[in-house]
């Protein structure tokens, strides 16, 4: 059945493009789904869903900007129905750790009638290198809410590896992989690792959630700011202050450390002005 493609929804996103690239490197036919791709997929245009899913053997499902956004769960339910009608054999859902609406989305996939794997992820390390927090890091600051709350931040490359295993290997059906990094870190800890990796001081500045919203809005616009501030308000209360064994269970290895992420990103020029 390897001749049937794997649909990657959100193939231009942080995780989607990594998943698609890894699948192609392993020799799997990939159908990259996005608003601008050869296979159009748009969460706001349901008429694009069935053509994108038709003939696919599996699908990697990400919802932009996040499953916490109003209407996301209802759209995910419709997508699952479309996937079932298209005889898709497996769905791999990217979910968010500690998010109420993400849990509702997980239940939709569990009850879809299609084999599934759920990857429930902690905060992304790459938010600092290719996301809405890159500009503040370039400015030498890490303005974050939540005080001294610790987060087991995860490298997206680990998420992609888990997703690819779930899409292509036996033994992952019905599994929930809650994936985190190997240690709990405050934002001050992250700033220290970023400072060492970049060779310049990155200062953590504790701020309010309202100030956090303003910071993100400046970099990514009010829509992105609304979504991620809502997630931060919900999750940065200590509920996620624990590590898990999801990466180890899925891949048989430990997750990458944030310090390794920071050093690799710095070597690749992630924080150069020209990036």
What secondary structure letter does DSSP report for 5?
-
235: nearest Cα among 121, 159, 125 = 121
Q: What is the pLDDT of residue 274?
A: 61
**41: CB partners within 8 A, 6+ apart:** 7, 9, 10, 33, 34, 35, 48, 49, 52
Structure tokens at 200: 């310049």
**Domain annotation covers residue 206:** no
**Domain annotation covers residue 142:** no
**Domain annotation covers residue 191:** no
**Domain annotation covers residue 202:** no
Helices 187-198, 258-267: crossing angle, 10 deg rounding: 30
**Domain annotation covers residue 60:** yes
- Can you tell me whether residue 29 is helix, strand or coil? coil
**Domain annotation covers residue 235:** no
Q: What is the pLDDT of residue 64?
A: 86
Q: Containing domain of residue 40, as a range?
A: 6-123+155-180+242-256
Cα angle for residues 73, 110, 121 (degrees, 5° grid): 70
Q: What is the pLDDT of residue 247?
A: 98
User: DSSP letters of 74-107?
Assistant: HHHHHHHHHHHHTT--EEEEEEETT-HHHHHHHH
**Domain annotation covers residue 176:** yes
Instruction: State the Cα–Cα distance between residues 194 and 217, nearest whole angstrom.
Output: 23
Indicate which CATH number applies to the domain containing 58.
3.40.50.720
Cα angle for residues 30, 31, 34 (degrees, 5° grid): 135
Q: Report if pTM > 0.75.
A: yes
Kindly give the parts of the chain with pLDDT less than 70. 1-2, 274-275
Q: What is the pLDDT of residues 208-231, one digit of tens each?
A: 999 999 988 987 789 888 888 988
Sheet of 90-96, strands arranged across:
39-40, 30-34, 6-9, 58-61, 90-96, 115-121, 176-179
Q: What is the pLDDT of residue 70?
A: 82
Query: Domain total for the chain?
Result: 1
Instruction: State the Cα–Cα distance between residues 213 and 225, nearest whole angstrom.
Output: 5
């Amino acid at each position: 059945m390897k001749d049937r493609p794997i649909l990657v929804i959100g193939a231009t996103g942080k995780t989607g493009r990594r998943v698609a690239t890894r699948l192609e490197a392993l020799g799997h036919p990939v159908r990259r789904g996005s608003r601008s791709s050869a296979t159009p997929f748009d969460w706001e245009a349901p008429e694009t869903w069935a053509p994108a899913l038709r003939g696919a053997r599996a699908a990697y499902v990400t919802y932009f900007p996040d499953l916490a956004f109003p209407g996301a769960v209802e759209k995910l339910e419709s997508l699952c129905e479309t996937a079932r009608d298209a005889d898709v054999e497996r769905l791999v859902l990217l979910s968010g750790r500690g998010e109420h609406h993400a849990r509702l989305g997980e239940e939709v996939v569990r009850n879809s009638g299609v084999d599934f794997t759920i990857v429930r992820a902690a905060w992304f390390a790459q938010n600092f290198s290719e996301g809405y927090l890159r500009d503040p890091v370039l400015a030498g600051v890490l303005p974050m809410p939540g005080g001294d709350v610790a987060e087991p931040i995860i490298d997206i490359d680990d998420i992609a590896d888990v997703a690819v295993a779930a899409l292509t290997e036996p033994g992952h059906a019905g599994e929930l992989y809650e994936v985190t990094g190997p240690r709990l870190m405050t934002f001050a800890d992250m700033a220290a690792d970023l400072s060492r990796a970049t060779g310049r001081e990155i200062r953590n500045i504790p701020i309010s959630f309202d100030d956090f919203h303003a910071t993100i809005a400046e970099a990514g616009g009010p829509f992105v700011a609304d979504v991620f501030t809502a997630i931060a308000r919900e999750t940065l209360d200590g509920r996620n202050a624990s590590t898990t064994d999801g990466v180890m269970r899925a891949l048989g290895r430990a997750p990458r450390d944030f310090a390794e992420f920071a050093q690799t990103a710095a070597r690749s020029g992630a924080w150069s002005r020209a990036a």
